[in-house]
Amino acid sequence: MNYLSPILRNNRTFLLAYDHGLEHGPEDFLLEKSAEPEFILELAEKGNFSGVIFQKGIAEKYYQPWQNIVPLIVKLNGKTKWQAGEPYSPLICSPEYAKDLGAVAVGYTIYPGSKFEHLMFKEFGQVVEKAHNLGMAVIAWLYPRGKKIDNENNPQVVCYAARIGLELGADMIKIKWPLERKYLEKAVNLARPVKVVLAGGERISEEEFFKRTEEVIASGGCGLAVGRNIWQRKNALEIAKKLAKIIYQR
Ligand code: FBP
């Protein structure tokens, strides 16, 4: 069974990430509209995204009217930027509840290298088993962090993260930019057959972001799960449409 099919188009994916209200706080919402979940849902529909990523609360309050329009991915764990020390992102929603909210897939962030990685590995293992029993895919955000990680964009660190996703049973993994295309290719190969998507990261120039997206596809990556590089721009819809073309092309 291909759990990922509800969020794939031409075997690729283009996901609009919007869990920042919890992870970073409203300071990410540089444009007034970007604080409004309805604006994000409309953008997801018109911008040809293959899914939108919400935390449980936003999904509960805003998603229902969009159920047959934009596929939902519910992020099952989360934390604030105020958490100090080694990171741990606790489970705050079950796969069952995510399904009731209309989710076709769930997401979970793992911080390999944190002294709490064992807790996240354990929770993630249970999430995968439950989600698969419910027919849902699991996307792992793989963000190595902790004392031993000096730079999470370090190619070795990103490649290791990609492989961890395969080892732990993810259906799709989301990784950070490993600085060069050749390392992205390596990460994709190390995770195979698990699909790899790139996180957007902090906003960069449009040109740079288009180039990076082309490199994701050329490296065998499956697409993007991106937030700020879309909804922090005044021309978000225009950018989204151009990115969708790059991603879904054969
Ligand atoms: P962006 O495209 O805006 O980087 O979003 C991707 C994402 O993984 C979000 O899902 C999440 O809220 C955020 O980045 C986490 O960022 P950080 O690296 O600061 O933990």
Give the span between the Cα atoms of 54 and 72, in whole angstroms: 7
pLDDT at 225 over 80: yes
Q: List pLDDT tens digits, range 160-206.
A: 999 999 999 999 999 999 999 999 999 999 999 999 999 999 999 99
Atom of ligand 1 nearest to the CA of 174: 8
CA separation (Å) from 70 to 35, 43, 49, 114? 19, 10, 8, 34
Question: Which residues line ligand 1 at a C-beta cut-off of 6 Å?
Answer: 17, 19-20, 23, 141, 143, 199-201, 226-229
Calculate how far, in angstroms, residue 77's C-alpha sits from the geometric centre of ligand 1: 13
Q: Which of 111, 143, 183, 248 is catalytic?
A: 143
Are 190 and 204 within 8 A, CB to CB? no
| Residue 23: predicted pLDDT | 98
Note the pLDDT tens digit of each residue in 98-110: 999 999 999 999 9
- Name the residue at shortest CA distance from atom 4 of ligand 1: 201
Per-residue model confidence (pLDDT) at position 94: 98
Annotated domain spans of the chain: 5-248
Q: Which atom of ligand 1 is nearest to the CA of 17?
A: 10
Asked if the model's pLDDT at residue 118 lies above 80, the reply is yes
Residue nearest to atom 14 of ligand 1 (CA): 201
Close Cβ partners of 153 (under 8 Å, ≥ 6 residues apart): 176, 177, 178, 179
Active-site residue 174, yes or no? yes
- pLDDT at site 250: 73
Give me ligand 1 centre to Cα 152, in Å: 13
Please count the helices (runs of H) and the strands (runs of E) in the chain: 10, 8
Q: Choose among 196, 172, 194, 170: nearest CA to 185.
A: 196
Instruction: Look at 32 and 126; give whichever has higher pLDDT.
Output: 126
pTM: 0.97
The span from the CA of 45 to the CA of 42, in Å, is 5
Range 5-248: architecture per CATH: Alpha-Beta Barrel (3.20)
When pLDDT is cut at 50, 70 and 90, the band that residue 147 belongs to is very high
- Is the per-residue pLDDT at 1 higher than 80? no
Torsion of CA 235, 241, 244, 245, to 10 degrees: -130
Using pLDDT thresholds of 50, 70 and 90, give the confidence band for residue 237: very high
The percent of residues above 90 in pLDDT, for the chain, comes to 99
pLDDT at residue 117 above 90? yes
Dist. CA 193 → ligand 1 center (Å):
24
